[in-house]
Amino acid sequence: MEHEIRATADGSFTVVKKDQGITYHSLHGAASESMHVYINAGLQYFADQHPDAVIRILEMGFGTGFNAYLSAMWATGQLRKVVYETLEKYPLPASIISAYADHLKPGILFQQIHGVSWNQWEVIDPYFTLYKHTGDIFTASFQQLYDIVFYDAFAPTAQPELWTEEVFRKIATTMNPNGILVTYCTKGIVKRALKAAGFKVQALPGPPRKREMLRAVYTGSSL
Ligand SMILES: C[S@@+](CC[C@H](N)C(=O)[O-])C[C@H]1O[C@@H](n2cnc3c(N)ncnc32)[C@H](O)[C@@H]1O
């Protein structure tokens, strides 16, 4: 099998792509990282600043669906409307998702997220609408303008082509003014590419065992 499930340091689980030795989440804690970077520093932060708005999220890299699941849990728990588009070039096989769920033991929203069809809008809950988009970041056309981007590509060591000014410029075209992009990756080349694409970049304290993470605000103009 090309993939396997692995426990991470906080007791939650991730998927490993065995041929390349890359993981879908941090081995220091999959749930801790996703909660810290995407939910707390991304979704909760934006929601606090815009208390009445519908929140539109674009995720780069659906993977296991864990970030989508956490976002759906947040939306239904907070009674805040979230519209979520997620892009994935290589959907994981159903057998891996099922093995991952056996370990994770998630709530019903996880099954609902995986049960919906690709490439169409689905209302999963009055507070969570989802579009699972199969495609490649280089050719995809996005469905809406977004407030938050969860940039969750594999690391630049594995896929350097996904962390360039060109890609961040494309992402910027689908963002609302003053929208934010959050990512776990803090490499200098990533900060420089984001700045060149018109983002104001801020380093924030990172999740467990990582010094920093990035939150970048799209200012609407490149320098
Ligand atoms: C770090 S994983 C995402 C983890 C995911 N957010 C989760 O919660 O499980 C990165 C994902 O990006 C996908 N990917 C790789 N190249 C891509 C491309 N060119 N366009 C879109 N998705 C891509 C991979 O297949 C993988 O699922």
Report yes or no on whether pTM surpasses 0.95. yes
Side chain identity at residue 67, one-letter code: N
Spatial neighbors of 202 by CB under 8 A, at least 6 apart, are 214, 215, 216, 217
- The number of the ligand 1 atom at minimal distance from the alpha carbon of 136 is 20
Residues 111-119: contacts with CB under 8 Å, at least 24 apart: 112/72, 113/65, 113/68, 113/69, 113/72, 114/65, 118/91
Report which protein residue has its CA nearest ligand 1's atom 16: 89
- For the record, the structure tokens of 30 come out as 């999959």
Nearest CA to ligand 1 atom 24: 61
Sheet of 22-23: strands edge to edge?
3-7, 13-17, 22-23
Give the ligand 1 atom nearest the CA of 137: 20
Which residue from 165, 210, 218 is spatially nearest to 58, judged by alpha carbons?
218
Q: How far is Cα 21 from Cα 47, in angstroms, rounded to an integer? A: 36
- Residue 179: CATH number of its domain: 3.40.50.150
Ligand 1 center–CA 53 separation, angstroms: 28
Q: What is the pLDDT of residue 222?
A: 52
> Quick check: is 186 in a domain?
yes
Segments forming the whole domain that contains residue 189:
30-92+106-218
Ligand 1 centroid–CA 163 distance in Å is 13
In-domain check, residue 24: no
Nearest CA to ligand 1 atom 25: 90
Residue 15 falls inside a structural domain = no
pLDDT value of residue 219: 87
Does the residue 7 lie in any domain? no
Ligand 1 geometric centre to CA of 119 (Å): 16
In a domain, 86, yes or no: yes
**The predicted structure's pLDDT at residue 223:** 47
Q: Which of 69, 113, 162 to mutate to test the pocket of ligand 1 (most atoms within 8 A of CB)?
A: 162
Q: What is the pLDDT of residue 221?
A: 63
Count of domains observed in the chain: 1
Q: Which protein residues are within 6 Å of ligand 1, measured from CB?
A: 24, 61, 63-64, 66-67, 87-90, 136-137, 152-154, 159
Q: Look at ligand 1, atom 12, and give the residue with the nearest C-alpha.
A: 61
In a domain, 223, yes or no: no
> Does residue 156 lie within any of the structural domains?
yes
The confidence score (pLDDT) of residue 57 equals: 98
Ligand 1 nearest-atom number relative to CA 34: 8
pLDDT tens track, the chain, 223 positions = 799 999 999 999 999 999 888 999 999 999 999 999 999 999 999 999 999 889 999 999 999 999 999 999 999 999 999 999 999 999 999 999 999 999 999 999 999 999 999 999 999 999 999 999 999 999 999 989 999 999 999 999 999 999 999 999 999 999 999 999 999 999 999 999 999 999 999 999 999 889 999 999 998 765 4
Task: Examine residue 52 and state whether it is found in any structural domain, yes or no.
Answer: yes
